[in-house]
A and B are shown apart, each in its own frame.
Chain A
Amino acid sequence: MKAIAARRHHRQAPVVLLVLALLVMGGVYAAFATTSADATVVTQSDDDVEAGRKLFAANCASCHGLNAEGRQNAPSLVGVGAASVYFQVSTGRMPMQADAPQAEAKPPQFGEEATRQLAAYVASLGAGPAIPTEDQVDPAKGDPASGMALFRTNCSMCHAASGAGGALTQGKYAPSVLNTDPAAIYTAMATGPQSMPVFNDMTLTPEEKRDIIAFIDAQKEGAPGGLDLGQIGPVGEGMWAFIVGMGLLIACAVWIGAKSS
């Protein structure tokens, strides 16, 4: 301790402190940002529906209405199906945090059990898409090549060819799908949350949805070229070229032109 105290006025002390602070911040963020979300098979029972009804009344009814009939700013949930509840609640989009252009993903507010019960309750109100089984969303069982062709036609215009997402209008955007849990990808396609259109089982069969999940999973290895710069296209790449690339060139020019000491 004494040795450290003696060196606190050292020329490089601020640099060391800054690096330490950054490391601590990064570590804390990483610890909080990790979320665990696993695809689960939903088995409904009357108990679940009853428990879900209570959860709904306590957490959702203020906007969606006591019987999920919908209000001015919140849609009716009759017939949206368990898949919709799974997607919205397991990705933390619902309950909504603030009245924003779109509900953003955040750490889920309900555990797996409560999500399942809410889904069971909403599913009991009217028929809708169900939560897929683990088998239906297993990337290992899909064909990534077929998934790529389907992704390019159906998904890439909004989520970008890389899956990194892109902008829509008025502050809305298509989020990145690269780190989305497979069951959430499946339920998003099946229900069409927010601005996203619906891709039902006629448009994309369950097997085709699994192919798309396999394609997205195959992107996790990264790009062979190395740094992908966010994969958002020419904007990110141009920024690097101008700021980093040209900055280095200017620094070299200044160095070459400066007099040697």
Chain B
Amino acid sequence: MSTNDTPRHDELVVTHAPEGVVDPGLPPHQPRLGDTDPKASKRSERIVAALFGLSVLGSIGVIVAYFAFPPGESVSSIQQSNMFLGLGLAFCFAGIGFGAVHWAKSIMNDHEKVEERHPQRSSDEDRAAAVEVLKEGAADSGIARRSALKGGLITALALLPLPVALPLIGNVGADWDVSKFRHTMWRRGTRLMTDPTYRPIRAADVTIGSVVHVIPEGLHHDELESDQSFMDEKAKAVVLLVRLDERDLKHTEGSYHGIVAFSKICTHVGCPVALYEQQTHHLLCPCHQSTFDVADGAKVVFGPAKRALPQLPITVDDEGYLIATDDFSEPIGPSFWERVK
């Protein structure tokens, strides 16, 4: 360790600099105001003390706020509690932090110091000794001639990752039954029900420009064995029902007097596609802006999705309520390896 006024540092750097460049060295040391003026030094001391005092006040403030402003039940009381606790914490941490930095900057000695880095290369004797030790060890173990031991060690090391990797891979999904991705709850004759109010939908009640969020009949907490199966089935079966002017529809297959139903699960990565623009008949996915044209079989007109949304074929039953005539014609949602038929 040496201070900046020793010549050794300058010499060392100059020898490494390209020719013609002179290392200017460290700038001359400038005394601070506090170094020459005792009054300024006293003032810095007072500022640091005040910052620490602020931290003390903040800590006391947090304790006071904890008792004085309990979160309570209403939004405004929670806001109040959060604000006072937060302000107190801000002062108690910032006071210590700013005080410590100001102390170090304005009161502690500010002479620049240079610490030379020692060379990383070991001495030649050390290196030779290390190689000697390794050679001795290898010869002693006899790894070159004891091939059975060598094979055993390599096998043991190769198998070592398996106890960790196998459970990890095995737990991914925990369920390799992919056939359930191919089918949903929709069957021939399943009524379309409103989500979340669970009412059947009369075709005559659906006005042009309407959008109805639809779940299949039977997808109800009372009719399923568990909440888990409710969520699993709902995730596959949700449908968006739209009524267009029949003249705007390009294909009427699977529709009923301008009413069309498409899976709400995006074919890109499975977000619920439900931003419907009534005037353009475009359906947007909120995640990656895939856009589907409802008037044209929900085919992709923009965005990363590659396939049209699967259509749910519908008609009406004897009472005029909308029913499905079949399940979706293809698996809903994003692609998976086994999707190819």
Contact = CB atoms under 8 A, between A and B. Distances in A.
A149 B197 CA distance: 9
B317 to A, nearest CB: 17
Contacts of A153: 195-196, 213
B268 interface: no
Given A169-B291, A260-B110, 18 more contacts: A158-B275, A168-B277, A169-B277, A169-B284, A172-B277, A194-B278, A195-B280, A197-B210, A197-B276, A202-B205, A203-B194, A203-B211, A221-B75, A222-B79, A225-B82, A226-B79, A255-B101, A256-B101
13 contacts: A166-B286, A169-B277, A192-B210, A195-B278, A196-B278, A198-B208, A199-B211, A200-B205, A202-B201, A223-B75, A260-B105, A260-B106, A261-B33
Contacts of B201: 202
A139 B201 CA distance: 27
B206 interface: yes
Contact of A224 (B82, B206, B275): B82
A198 B82 CA distance: 41
Interface residues of A, number: 33
A104 interface: no
A154 B213 contact: yes
B205 A198 contact: no
Contacts of B242: 197
B278 A197 contact: yes
Q: Interface residues of B toward A: which range? A: 35 or more
Query: Interface SS of chain A: helix, strand, loop or mixed?
Result: loop
B279 A194 contact: yes
A150 interface: yes
Nearest to B71: A224
Interface in B158-207: 194-197, 201-202, 205-207
A48 interface: no
Contacts of A221: 74-76
B282 interface: yes
Contacts of B213: 153-154
B196 A203 contact: no
A203 B210 contact: yes
